[in-house]
Structure 1
Amino acid sequence: MREISSSVTFEIKAGETVPMKIARSTRLKVNCGAVWVTRSDDTEDYWLESGHTLRLRRGERLWLSVEGGPEAQVAFAVPARADVRALDWLMRLGDRFGMRLRDGWRTV
């Protein structure tokens, strides 16, 4: 069983079933093709086509398969940690403030 703990993109061939375990909350996106998704602890199955996404919870098991097409490409995107996102936001804010401050000094 493949474990997903980071952002990754890969292809699934027709007739292939790929079992997975989700180590961190992530988002599944189908880049091309169509994918049949079965999730643990979920009575529903999902048919995702190109461009569709599905949020996945940490610890759940997943089975992906392709039916009726040659292959599909899927991408797992793990969000950045909250502290990393906050630091990036502060850096962007500082850059914007600094830019305005410099522009203000030039006009004086």
Structure 2
Amino acid sequence: MDSASQHADQEGASGPFSVSSIFAAPAHDDALPALSIHFAVPATGTFTWRVRADGTLRVHGARVWLTRACSPYDHWLSPGETLRVYRGERLWLSVDAGNAAARVTLTSAWRPPFATVRRTAGRCADWFALLTTRRLVR
């Protein structure tokens, strides 16, 4: 075997598109502390939810059917499976026919209260400082 094919084999096994790197958790999932919301999806109805922060949805107990607004795809999630959800998405969840209620956990990175307000105020202060500096220079 020549060195080029050995390099290609090694590249395929651990390169940027290997299976482990594609399915690895994103870096922001490792952020601590995390906020987890647990809720039940009744066996007889449909549960709707608007996602407030990027997170991971995990199913426990029974198989769940999930659909997203503006998406042509539906998802069947078995117990233990996860799905990445994004801020602003509208989700509809229902339990597979004949099953008992399912439990679902939505986990996202915890943010301190008013973090968005503080960040926006800081950006406005930076913008104002830049604007006044430009005027003084002229």
Q: Given the two structures, how large is their TM-score scaled by the length of structure 1?
A: 0.65
Q: CA deviation at 1:16?
A: 1.2
Matched, 1:34 2:63: yes
The residue number in structure 1 matching 2:108 is 78
Task: Tell me how far apart the structure 1 counterparts of residues 69 and 42 of structure 2 sit (CA, whole Å).
Answer: 22
Q: CA deviation at 1:65?
A: 0.5
Gaps of 5+ in 1: 1-5, 82-108
Give RMSD over aligned pairs: 1.3
Render the CA deviation track for 1:21-56: whole Å, top value 9, x for unaligned.
Answer: 001101100022111001012110000010000000
1:1-108 superposed matches below 5 A: 6-68=35-97, 69-80=99-110
- Structure with more of its chain in helix, by fraction: 2
One-letter amino acid of the structure 2 residue matched with residue 78 of structure 1: S
Task: Tell me how far apart the structure 1 counterparts of residues 61 and 108 of structure 2 sit (CA, whole Å).
Answer: 19
Does the CA contact (< 8 Å) of 1:15 and 1:67 recur in 2?
Answer: no
- Structure with more of its chain in strand, by fraction: 1
Secondary structure, aligned partner of 1:78:
strand
Task: Tell me how far apart the structure 2 counterparts of residues 67 and 35 of structure 1 sit (CA, whole Å).
Answer: 6
Gaps of 5+ in 2: 1-34, 112-138
The structure with higher relative contact order (CA 8 Å, sep 6+) is: 1
Count, aligned residues? 76
Secondary structure, aligned partner of 2:109:
coil
